[in-house]
Chain A
Amino acid sequence: MSEHIVPPKIYLGVFGILMAGTTLTVIAAFKDFGAFNIVIALGIATIKATFVVLYFMHARYSPKRTHLVIICAVFWLAIMLALTLTDYQERPILGDRAAPDAAHQLPV
């Protein structure tokens, strides 16, 4: 077999990184970084996810066409998120929450 065998040492290392990331994200959540709290949380989550994909899921050792599939997934997800969010950004429903427009209120 020509497949690449990832040694347990690497798996344990990745596990360590994931644990450190989890600890860090909990610590960061209790500190006030203003608007950056969410950026930090998602940034750490993305780093963790990248390690899982590269090593646990063997993407690093996979053929190029698997890389293409993964990149497509991220790209399409980015299109969906970016275009929808820019659209919502321009709508009144995301206006001032302190005084929501009565027309947009949900029935209580």
Chain B
Amino acid sequence: MHRTGELYGQFQTLDQQKETAALGMWIFLVTEVLFFGGMFLTYTINRHAYSAAFGMGSNTLDIYLGGFNTVVLILSSLTMAMGVWSAQVGKKSLVTSFLILTLILGGVFLGVKVVEYKQKFDHHLIPGQNFDISYCAKNPNACTDLSPKARETEDKQLEEAERLDPNLNSHAQLYFSLYFGMTGLHALHMIVGAGLLLWLLKESVGGRFGPAYNTPVEIVGLYWHFVDIVWIYLFPLLYLIDRKAGR
């Protein structure tokens, strides 16, 4: 393709090229909104139908880890936005620093997710043959990582939920299928984002991004912020739906 510097032949100016790229990214993000929208819809319908099981499942999640991850991800959005600003004002070494920070924060988020998933494995909360929502109530010695107070409230809630929903175990499985499906897809998007950041980092170290040309930083930024928005909805929907009454 014919290209002069950073300007491709089909465009007249770098401005026009950047606007076109941004529009393309936004249209991609529309398809992503509808893609995640379908999952949120599935979640909403089932949560409404099986609220006792979904409340039970939701309360097994660690609100501190979830809250911490929310802060980490929003902070990474800030560092990404600052990376775009650094490129726009021509502070080339700052671009690299902010991209590294964003990448580190993304890594921290995924690391916390690993810890959370591991705990669900240990507590038999992976949908499938050995799924058992009452595993910790039956085997308190296998769940020593939960505080005695947390276990006590969980046992109490389990009793109540079993009374409300005779099919609690299969409906709780539905909650965890959606939990792993939605957070897993979100994590997959984060991994793709981390790959894009690595590429940006390589180009940024070479001094490619400045006031005249910073389109890739801006476009990856759009993607990264979108992934942040998905989490902004996932956090209350998955972690916070049934916390009232101090559970």
Knowing A93-B49, A98-B164, say if A22 contacts B27 (CB, 8 Å). no
Q: Is the CB of A38 within 8 A of B241?
A: yes
Whether the Cβ atoms of A106 and B18 lie closer than 8 Å is no
A97/B41 in contact, CB under 8 A: no
B129: min CB distance to chain A, Å = 12
Asked if A5 contacts B19 (CB within 8 A), the reply is: no
Q: Mark B158-169, 1 if CB is under 8 A from A, else 0.
A: 000000111101
* Those of B28-58 within 8 Å (CB) of chain A: 29-30, 33-34, 37-38, 40-41, 44-45, 48-52
What is the chain B residue whose CB lies nearest that of A21?
A: B232
Contact A65 B236 (CB under 8 A): no
Shortest Cβ gap from A91 to chain B (Å):
10
Residues of chain A in range 40-61 having any CB-CB distance to chain B below 8 Å:
41-42, 44-45, 48-49, 52-53, 55-58
- Whether, in the assembled complex, B22 has its beta carbon less than 8 Å from a beta carbon of chain A, the answer is yes
Binds A, one of B114-122, B148-156, B186-194, B221-229: B221-229
Q: Kindly state the separation between the CA atoms of A14 and B77 in the bound complex, as whole angstroms.
A: 11
Q: Which residues of A contact B85 (CB under 8 A)?
A: 5-8, 11
Contact A56 B244 (CB under 8 A): no
Which residues of B are found within 8 Å of A72, using beta-carbon distances?
A: 30
- B171 proximity list for chain A (CB < 8 A): 106
Residues in A neighbouring B246, C-beta threshold 8 A: 30
Q: Which chain B positions have C-beta within 8 A of A30?
A: 243-244, 246
B77 CB contact (under 8 Å) in A3, A52, A65:
A52
Q: A42-B236, A66-B23, A105-B167 are in contact. Are A85 and B44 (CB under 8 A)?
A: yes
Nearest to A76 among chain B residues (CB) is B34
Task: Tell me if A32 counts as interface (CB < 8 A to partner B).
Answer: yes
Contact B18 A3 (CB under 8 A): yes
Question: Assuming the A-B contacts A15-B74, A80-B41, are A22 and B67 also in contact, with contact meaning beta carbons closer than 8 angstroms in the complex?
Answer: yes
Which interface class (under 10, 10 to 19, 20 to 34, 35 or more) fits A?
A: 35 or more
Question: What's the nearest-Cβ distance from chain A to residue B91, in Å?
Answer: 11
> What sequence of 0s and 1s flags, for each residue 9-47 of chain A, a beta carbon within 8 Å of any chain B beta carbon?
001101100110010011001111100011001101100
Central interface residue in B70, B81, B212, by most chain A CB within 10 Å: B81
- CB distance B34 to A5 under 8 Å? no
User: Would B19 and A63 count as touching, CB distance under 8 A?
Assistant: yes
Per-residue CB contact flags for chain B residues 217-241 toward chain A (1 = under 8 Å, else 0) read: 0100110011011001101110011
- B51: chain A residues within 8 A (beta carbon): 97
* Residues 133-187 of B at the A interface (beta carbon under 8 Å): 164-167, 169-171, 174
B211 contacts A by Cβ under 8 Å: yes
Give me 4 other A-B pairs in contact (C-beta within 8 A), A84-B45, A85-B45 excluded.
Answer: A41-B237, A56-B221, A81-B41, A85-B41
Which of B's residues lie within 8 Å of A, judged by CB? 14-15, 18-19, 22-23, 26-27, 29-30, 33-34, 37-38, 40-41, 44-45, 48-52, 63, 67, 70-71, 74-75, 77-78, 80-82, 85, 88-89, 164-167, 169-171, 174, 211-212, 218, 221-222, 225-226, 228-229, 232-233, 235-237, 240-241, 243-246
